[in-house]
Amino acid sequence: MRKGMLEYCILLLLQRAPAYSADIIKQLEQADLIVVEGTLYPLLTRLKNSGYIGYEWQESLYGPPRKYYNLTEKGKEFLSVLDQSWTNLEKTVNILRNTNPNN
């Protein structure tokens, strides 16, 4: 479940703007979702191999060029499906949380 949520969160971040892997980790940490590089890179590779994200190299002032990931058109379509799934799941969980078992 966490893997699927993490993929969803990464796509949400890349929907905003292309991002460098360290920036992705930082933004996830700011949202209280702790992720290490050893978890992030395989997910990015899987998302790239699925055609949901791409990347481009950008020069860096502080060292070698950096790989900036971006959301592809296929990724935008997949994110739309994930958004709908999240909405449905949220609705279901809220119904179950708010149901009084004595009724």
Per-domain residue ranges of the chain: 2-98
Distance CA 16, CA 8 (A): 13
Look at the chain and count its residues: 103
Contact residues for 78 (Cβ-Cβ < 8 A; gap 6+): 11, 50, 52
- Domain 2-98 belongs in CATH node 3.40.50.2300: no
**What would the pLDDT profile of 41-95 be if each residue is shown by its tens digit?**
999 999 999 999 999 999 988 889 999 999 999 999 999 999 999 999 999 999 9
Banded pLDDT at 3 (limits 50, 70, 90): low
